[in-house]
Amino acid sequence: MKFPRTHTVEEISKLISCYFVGDRDFPVEGMNEIHVVTPGDIVFVDHPKYYDKALQSAATVVLINKEVECPEGKALLVSDDPFRDFNKLTDHFKPFKTSDSNISKSSKIGKNTVVQPNCFIGNNVVIGDNCVIHSNVSIYDDTIIGNNVIIHAGCVLGSSAFYYKKRPEGFDRLKSGGRVVVEDNVDLGSLCTIDKGVSGDTIIGEGSKLDNQIQVGHDTVIGKKCLIASQTGIAGCVVIEDEVTIWGQVGITSAITIGSKAVISAQSGVSKSLEGNKSYFGTPADDFRSKYKELASIRQIPEIIKMLKEKS
């Protein structure tokens, strides 16, 4: 998420009541999670295990809970609770705005686009030309939808990220200030739910087709011409490259990459990154040849046990 204008690290420190290390005029242009940061961004870190990763990332401002040696060309914001203060910045730069109508006056809807009854279209939503938005679809603030997109009944675009920090008093939600971006020629089946990014974009690539009842987590990027069948659940920060096929009831863990033209069979559980141009099945998912060898070995176990008993 980029700010409307460049701020100084001193200005940001005053917003969240913490102190800074570095030049008071050090420029701050935005804030992002570590996997999408660019120079000028703030990234937050609150566990020593991840200090080095944050300090060595592309982010040039690190919101951290301990004063450490500041890398050259960067600045620190030292806070007793970076998670809380990252939320404060989201509230400041991307505050929640109530709507007073089903279709916000600030939204933009393209030529020949049909919006069926009982839809909600939030603030600053942009919908392209020749789209069909079926009934009872909810499109939250700042969502971008391209041309020739079909969204079937009951879809929700722009829900908050499922991202929590466990505290003694309960779970603390990391607030979401990102967007959902749906590119041209995408079809979304009924009851799909697509969470917005925490600070970046959740993207459905051009020409991709999603079946009914699919969950797409925050900051996930789905490539072009992907085909995803019903009841698939995709966690946050996943990268699915172009022309991937995912069959029904597949579960995909967070922060992994599925290579282009991979095929994942129904009810597979994907727990690690997968290469492209291969077919996979099972839990944990593996390529067909490896999985069939594994199954063949398992089938031999009763015979091996029988042989061992006979020998004894």
Q: Are strands 75-78 and 108-109 parallel, antiparallel or unpaired?
A: unpaired
3-class SS at 3? strand
Distance CA 312, CA 308 (A): 6
Q: What are phi and psi of 245, to 5 degrees?
A: -115, 125
- Tokens (6 digits) for 55: 């300090």
Distance CA 226, CA 252 (A): 15
Active-site residues, by number, are 218
Distance CA 291, CA 280 (A): 8
Distance CA 219, CA 232 (A): 17
Determine the residue type at 272.
K
Closest CA to 61 of 7, 128, 99, 127: 7
Distance CA 240, CA 104 (A): 32
User: Please, which residues have CB within 8 angstroms of residue 180's CB and are 6 or more apart in sequence?
Assistant: 140, 143, 144, 157, 158, 194, 195, 196, 197, 201, 202, 203, 204
